[in-house]
Structure 1
Amino acid sequence: MRRTVALIVTVALVATGCGAHVSEGDSGAAPAGYPVTVTNCGSSLTVSKPPSRVVTNDIGITELMFALGLGDRMAGYVVDKGQSGGVASSPWKADFAKVPKLAEKINREVVQGAGADLVFAGWNYGFSEATGFTPDSLAKLGISSYLLTEACRNGNGKQRGIMRPLDALYTDVRNLGKIFGISGRAERLIGEYRARVAAVTNAVPTGRPKPKVFLYDDGRDQPFTSGRNAGPDEIITKSGGANIFADLNDSWTTVSWEAVIQRAPDVILINDYGGEVGSVADKENFLRSRPGLRDIPAVKEGRFFALPYAALVEGPRNAAAVEEFGRYLANLPG
């Protein structure tokens, strides 16, 4: 399937596949090096010139734009109130202050009102058939979409993830570099991330079992966690641990408490939403109080470690998350 957009004011729209083709008419020649085509979630996306009014959804996606120095290409961003703490602590806090926050929930009216020429979001990161906000619905409005690679559907129902999580990050950085004509900058960033992650992995002690790690996002009746296709899986593995749910061919997903107890994690990595959706202390207290969980090694030994939401979803904080969690695991008793 193919998605093509010309990014001009006057358009003639013809919907095609899961995207749209926009005719340039007599608008003149494309800039040097354009049009550019990238592969995104198995489909081709073609742009005739660098987008100039991008709308992003979610903090990690927005920070990817900022990390690449693309704040001036944005019409605005959307984050919900649960991510306010992440914005306040972001390494790109100054960029968040310069770019307009458009809403707490993305929809067609928000992106149309912003005059968006590209929406950068993902399945369960804004796009949803239930709400009717999808790449197809935007294509009918002449607005192109770029989907977060971590959230690409893999053909098994609505399960997400088509490659290893860090490869998904590098793919998106590289694609954005091509789309915006800054491939050199993108490749330098990828090289930096690879080097930082490799430094941690190469320093992991050998000759001892890898600590088994359970990523706890939230959920009381059933826990929400990470399968092998979400960011936490490689944050855990590159740090020297083993994700207890690495056998699940999905990204962020729901499991059972019985499965957590059976797999007996040595460490619990907590997703810290900054207090907006249950504080870290609240989550620890819940885990300590739930029957069965109190007896697993992580809870008995008090081995809890928290990382912010923005570091665990795909985004430019992933390398730092590997470094931080790697230091924690390296200091555990042998």
Structure 2
Amino acid sequence: MTVPRLIRPALTLLAATVVLAGCGADVDDPARPSDPADAVRVTNCGAPLSVPATPRRAVTNDTGITEMMFALGLTGHMAGYTTYEGKERDVATSPWRADFTSTRSLGTAFTREVIQAADPDFVFAGWNYGFKESTGVTPDWIRGIGATPYQLTEACRQPGSTRRGITRPLDALYDDLTNLGTIFGVRDRAAALIRDYRAEVARAAAGAPPGDRRARVFLFDSADPTPFTSGRTAGPDEIIEKAGGVNTFHGLDDSWTSVSWEAAAQADPQVIVIVDYGTGPSNTVQAKIDALRAQPLMAGTTAVREGNFVSFPYAALVESPRNPATITALAAYLRGKGL
């Protein structure tokens, strides 16, 4: 269902004047004479994005997005980050746990009030990763307060649709790291990370079986009441593929999305990957395994009958610098199961 576009308050008109004066972001023609001479220009979600100067007060939303900044060594350029309730497991398992500790937490609400109070010059989020018409926090609104909005590529909306994902998931990660490296003046760091990640993915993929022998893998995030899973444009699809499996919902041209129990069971997954949020009695890995075993349709699937469950933190499965290590770990699990 399409959510009606929210009408921006009168403040937007005043803020837009400031933007046109060169203090904010411009996503129109990057060759416009009004652009500062030292503006950095990249392509984000298929559109030109001009950043007038190196951001000094970046705000990020969600753990995977924030970890991209940390991986690039950009904590000193951040005004803070927001996350959501239930992401404690992400922070506890993060290779950048010290950065989470040393960077200002803005809480668990990515709202207009929280963002404005942080006085950002750059805001990195994504559709359904913070940007939502229902809250009024959109890229247009970010521009209206004089900051540059940068959209997570995994969550770019497809033209003419609210479906998300316009490229393969790992390409999305590499594109964002490249763009951030350009915007923040750390191109060499970004290039080195991408080289390392490509090498790790290649090592993991080298042991994958032929296509006709690949394990059927179902990504299970949650059920409310139907399963929430990954189509072919979300991170888990390529994580599963490079690890040597086949995402049972690869045929869905969408990112994270809901499906039916009938469709999930009909695919007869051999392995189920569970998203571990780590909090709440109904959100633990064991609670999700118990729910799958109790679900009449899923109970008969190969994965449930044989107990083939493997879990990873949320931040390891959405677009993030953890993706290559997740591929390595999932490949090891599949090989260990003879799959």
Query: One fold, TM greater than 0.5?
Result: yes
Q: Decide whether the 8 Å contact of 2:27 with 2:47 is kept in 1.
A: no
Q: Deviations over 1:251-301 (max 9, x none)?
A: 000000000111111110001112346000000000001112111111011
| Equivalent residue number for residue 136 of structure 1 | 140
1:223 aligns with 2:234: no
CA–CA distance in structure 2, aligned partners of residues 131 and 12 of structure 1:
23
Q: 2-side partners of 1:73 and 1:195: how far apart?
A: 28
Partner deviation per Cα, 1:225-273 (whole Å, 9 max, x = no partner):
0000000001100000000100000000000000011111111000111
Q: Secondary structure of 1:50's partner?
A: coil
2:238 is aligned to 234
What CA RMSD, in Å, does the superposition of the two structures yield over aligned residues?
A: 2.0
Provide the residue aligned with 2:336 in structure 1. Answer: 331
Specify the alignment match of 2:255 in structure 1: 251
Q: Whole-Å Cα distance in 2 between the matches of residues 134 and 30 of structure 1?
A: 24
8 Å Cα contact 1:68-1:186 kept in structure 2: yes
SS of residue matched to 1:324 = helix
2:191 to 161, 184, 187: 187
Equivalent residue number for residue 303 of structure 1: 308
Tell me, in whole angstroms, the C-alpha distance in 1 between the residues paired with 2:59 and 2:79. Answer: 6
Secondary structure of the residue aligned to 1:12 is: helix
Q: Is residue 2:170 matched to residue 1:154?
A: no
Deviations 1:64-84 (A, max 9, x none): 000000000000000112112
Higher mean alpha-carbon deviation, 272-281 vs 314-323, is at 272-281
- Residues 41, 152 of structure 1: 8 Å contact kept: yes
Q: 1-side partners of 2:304 and 2:160: how far apart? A: 34
DSSP-derived class of the 1:326 partner: helix
- The alignment partner of 2:287 has SS state of helix
What secondary structure sits across from 1:196 in the alignment? helix
Contact 1:205 1:330 in 2 (8 A): no
**1:101 aligns to what SS in structure 2?**
coil
The percent identity for this pair of structures is 51
Using a 3 Å threshold, how does the CA distance of structure 1 residues 137 and 292 change in structure 2: closer, same or farther? Answer: same
Shift of 1:109: 1.4
SS at match of 2:106: strand
Measured in 2, the distance between the counterparts of 1:333 and 1:308 equals 24
In the other structure, the counterpart of 2:108 is 104
Question: In the TM superposition, what are the counterparts of 1:1-334 in structure 2 within 5 Å?
Answer: 12-14=18-20, 20=26, 34-206=38-210, 209-276=213-280, 278-333=283-338
Letter in 2 for 1:87: V
Looking at structure 2, the residues matched to 191 and 175 of structure 1 have their Cα atoms a distance apart, in angstroms, of 15
| TM-score, normalisation: structure 1 | 0.90
SS in 1 for 2:326: helix
Deviations 1:121-150 (A, max 9, x none): 000000000111101112111121000000
Distance 1:183 1:223, change over 3 A: same
Q: 1:114 to 1:220 in 2, by over 3 A?
A: closer
Higher helix proportion (structure 1 or 2): 2
CA distance in 2: counterparts of 1:303 and 1:99, whole angstroms: 38
SS at match of 1:225: strand
Deviation, 1:111, is: 1.5
Q: Number of residue pairs matched?
A: 314
**Equivalent residue number for residue 13 of structure 2:** none
Counterpart of 1:278, as a letter, is: N
CA distance in 1 between counterparts of 2:171 and 2:160 reads 20
Paired letter, 1:323:
T
For residues 252 and 108 of structure 1, what CA distance do their matches in structure 2 show? 25
Equivalent position of 2:6 in the other structure: none
Equivalent-residue separation in structure 1 for 2:231 and 2:206 (angstroms): 24
1:119·1:146 contact (CA, 8 Å) conserved in 2? yes
> Where do 5+ consecutive residues of structure 1 fail to align?
1-10, 23-28
| Partner Cα separation in structure 1 for residue 174 and residue 295 of structure 2 | 39
1:156 shift after superposition: 4.9
CA contact (8 A) 2:217 2:246 kept: yes
User: Does the CA-based 8 Å contact 2:201-2:242 persist in structure 1?
Assistant: yes
